[in-house]
Chains A and B, each alone.
Chain A
Amino acid sequence: MALLEIKNLHATVDDKPILNGLDLTIGGGEVHAIMGPNGSGKSTLSYVLSGRDGYEVTEGEVLFDGKDLLEMEADERAREGVFLAFQYPVEIPGVTGITFLRTAVNAVREHKGESPFDAMDFVKFIRDKASGLNVSDDMLKRAVNAGFSGGEKKRMEILQMAALDPKLAILDETDSGLDIDALKVVADGVNAMRSEERGLLVITHYQRLLDYIVPDHVHVLAKGRIVKSGGKELAHELEKSGYAEFLEDAA
């Protein structure tokens, strides 16, 4: 059984069709990249999968570990193991990083039938994950993402991913706003989490990120459908030729 099966997915935002019959299957251990021009539906796909309000599925189905993903609320999906690394992580004034992370991790642990961390154990747990990502204690003590640089926010996203240990991680334009050094730190963090059980869906406009997080499969999304699929070499072709041909084809 595949980890994620998307079949003929149609979705609208404010009654405007954005996804128009998308099919995609991701198996455990696989890294899939979705590339496409602006407006092709990349971010919509990430929000539909993670259950954001306002994204309405009008047709099709999504099975996650054999379960109907679309029936679940956003928080339930996360506890079942779907993780979205945001393109623009929000700042949450008044909630410290450590409190936020512990609440999230414990929600997931309790869902799995594991005992929640107490405050002391959690500090040990999170420090261990944070050190490799260059996330300092100070960053954890501050309000979530408050005043963080672009790179710090993305490192915080990957820390959350590491802490929540999802089955499927969706990285939405994780490279946006990062310089090359920051990109390497983030990519190393993601690569460290590659495993036989976990699937990764990397959404990006540019091929650059895929030099660091090397995919098994690359798909081109245009006008809400997958119009071409291939191996990692497809990303390089797109870098040379651009997306123009797909826009015309799909029109």
Chain B
Amino acid sequence: MPDGSGYMQPYLDQALDNASSLTGAGVDWIDALRRAGADAYGAHGLPHRADEYWRYTSLNALANEDFQLTSDAPAIGLPSLPHKLVSELSTYRVVVVNGRLRPDLCALGGLPDDVLISGLEHLMAAAPERLEPYLGKIVRLQDMPMAALNTAFLRDGLAMFIGAGVALDKPVHLISITAPGDGRMMVQPRHLVVMGKNAEATLIETHITAEGGSSFNNIVSELHLDDDAKLNHFVFQEESKTSVHLSGSAVSMGARTTYDSFVLQSGGAIGRSEIRAYMNGRGGDCRLDGVYLATDKQIVDNTTFVDHVAPECRSRQVYKGVLDGEARGVFQGKVHVLRDAQKTDGHQLSRALLLSPRAEIDARPELEIYADDVKCSHGATAGELDDDLLFYLLSRGIGRDDARRMLIEAFLSEAIEEIPHEQVAEDFTTHVRQWLARNVDAARKEM
């Protein structure tokens, strides 16, 4: 039995108790999918350090605390969001509270023809045949135990279908709120994005926690990009520091598709973004970038797996982060190049700035290559602020805190500047600046 098995039962029991009463029960493939999730999770248990992709992030907190599944979406209103420009953008807005779609808070007027944006549960009842070709088909449960748990609880979230040839006129903004109330609450949101041939869209996600107790948010997203489709995907992860935020995304990419992802994480006691991109069609282009900011005892984890299945694909990954206090960063990235994936161009880079002697980064960039005609590289750096640069700023009269903030912002801005969306990039920069103002302050730390 795997080490984590002792911890899995309470969660699995909740899933099994729950399954027969859920929407979609009685539809064969949905029943089978939930069962497959429960089986895969049951066989594996809670991920533990022996798991290749969980070596540095322990979920013991989940085992030691009794998180209860909630299916309530409390009647909270739309909170003000921590990023101004994106909030002011005209978007198609989808709001999910505790994993449940809140139609009353959504704004989906004027959707173009051949675009469907809806709740997953609603579609499971109304048109399950639209979901069947994709739901559960992209994520590989044996590789992602927490996605298996999510699948056992499969119920609601965003379902978005962009028809062939449609370039969506406005970004879709998914606002995901966990509202734990007073207890310890578990939610299992499930999102599905299907981009038809040559479709184009931008998806922005905001993850925040309403005031209250602690929450365990176990998100799974499946994204399917048919040939020539293009998806820009930007994520703000700003959950409370008492919450556990686990996000697992699986992306299937057709020929000549572009998937451009940028994840900003500063929230969560544990914040983890795992992205698995399967480059199944020739000539795809995948960018997985991210910035993270962590302090106190936060753990922030970026785990990626880019599977170069087809030839002539290009993947780029740049993750940059700042770790203060006793925070720990994790970067695990694998570029996996199969034998037929000739002319692969794959790069990955992890750079971490350690602001405190007790901060830590575990970086494991990996290349696994079976093709012989490829261009691949990887690298990882970790260090403190450069003394020469710091002294240069000090020698011009700039105070130490200001100088440190300037240099840290500059370090991160190189990554943020690559974001192909002006308002998102500016909001990310503002967020970084506010975080630095709160956290890089020598006088306050001495208090």
A79: chain B residues within 8 A (beta carbon): 397
Cα separation A108 to B393 with both chains bound (whole Å): 12
Q: Does A95 contact B (CB under 8 A)?
A: yes
Shortest C-beta distance, A25 to chain B (Å), equals 23
Quick check: B392 and A78 within 8 Å, CB to CB?
no
Cα separation A92 to B396 with both chains bound (whole Å): 13
Q: Of residues B393, B394, B395, B403, which shows the largest number of chain A Cβ atoms within 10 Å of its Cβ?
A: B395
Quick check: A78 and B407 within 8 Å, CB to CB?
no
Q: Interface code B393-421, partner A: CB below 8 Å = 1, 0 otherwise?
A: 11111111011001101110110000000
Quick check: B403 and A75 within 8 Å, CB to CB?
yes
Quick check: B396 and A78 within 8 Å, CB to CB?
yes
Shortest C-beta distance, B212 to chain A (Å), equals 38
Quick check: A90 and B394 within 8 Å, CB to CB?
no
Q: Does B28 contact A (CB under 8 A)?
A: no
Shortest C-beta distance, A53 to chain B (Å), equals 7
Q: Does B388 contact A (CB under 8 A)?
A: yes
Instruction: Check A93/B391 contact, CB under 8 A, given A75-B400, A107-B398.
Output: no
Cα separation A107 to B393 with both chains bound (whole Å): 11
Instruction: Check A95/B406 contact, CB under 8 A, given A53-B387, A73-B400, A90-B388.
Output: yes
Q: Which residue of chain B is the closest to A110 with respect to CB atoms?
A: B397
Quick check: A90 and B389 within 8 Å, CB to CB?
yes
B406: chain A residues within 8 A (beta carbon): 95, 99-100, 103
Instruction: Check A107/B400 contact, CB under 8 A, given A90-B388, A95-B407.
Output: no
A89: chain B residues within 8 A (beta carbon): 392
Shortest C-beta distance, B429 to chain A (Å), equals 11
A75: chain B residues within 8 A (beta carbon): 393-395, 397-400, 403
Interface of B is mostly: helix
Quick check: B391 and A164 within 8 Å, CB to CB?
no
Query: By the criterion of a CB under 8 Å from any partner CB, how many residues of chain A are at the interface?
Result: 28
A83: chain B residues within 8 A (beta carbon): 395
Q: Which residue of chain A is the closest to B413 with respect to CB atoms?
A: A94
Interface positions, chain B 327-377, Cβ under 8 Å from A, are none
Cα separation A108 to B395 with both chains bound (whole Å): 11
Quick check: A52 and B397 within 8 Å, CB to CB?
no
Q: Which residue of chain B is the closest to A74 with respect to CB atoms?
A: B394
Quick check: A94 and B411 within 8 Å, CB to CB?
yes
Quick check: A111 and B394 within 8 Å, CB to CB?
no
Instruction: Check A92/B410 contact, CB under 8 A, given A52-B391, A104-B396.
Output: yes
Instruction: Check A93/B414 contact, CB under 8 A, given A74-B391, A103-B402, A107-B402.
Output: yes
Q: Of residues A52, A94, A160, which shows the largest number of chain B Cβ atoms within 10 Å of its Cβ?
A: A94
Q: Does A50 contact B (CB under 8 A)?
A: yes
A92: chain B residues within 8 A (beta carbon): 389, 392-393, 407, 410
Cβ-defined partner of B397 (8 Å) among A53, A86, A90, A107: A107
Q: Does A84 contact B (CB under 8 A)?
A: yes
Cα separation A161 to B262 with both chains bound (whole Å): 40
Q: Does A51 contact B (CB under 8 A)?
A: yes
Quick check: A104 and B397 within 8 Å, CB to CB?
yes
Quick check: B410 and A78 within 8 Å, CB to CB?
no
Instruction: Check A73/B394 contact, CB under 8 A, given A94-B413, A107-B402.
Output: yes
Quick check: A164 and B410 within 8 Å, CB to CB?
no
B396: chain A residues within 8 A (beta carbon): 78, 100, 104, 107, 160, 164
Cα separation A107 to B395 with both chains bound (whole Å): 11
A164: chain B residues within 8 A (beta carbon): 396-397
Q: Which residue of chain B is the closest to A47 with respect to CB atoms?
A: B391
Quick check: A94 and B397 within 8 Å, CB to CB?
no
Interface positions, chain B 238-267, Cβ under 8 Å from A, are none
B399: chain A residues within 8 A (beta carbon): 75, 107
Cα separation A104 to B414 with both chains bound (whole Å): 22
Interface positions, chain A 76-115, Cβ under 8 Å from B, are 78-79, 83-84, 86, 89-90, 92-95, 99-100, 103-104, 107-108, 111
Shortest C-beta distance, A99 to chain B (Å), equals 8
Cβ-defined partner of A78 (8 Å) among B387, B394, B411, B413: B394
Please name 4 further chain A to chain B contacts, defined as beta carbons within 8 Å, in addition to the given A51-B394, A164-B397, sorted by A numbering: A75-B394, A78-B394, A104-B398, A143-B410
Nearest 5 pairs between A and B by C-beta? A94-B410, A78-B397, A104-B396, A74-B394, A75-B394
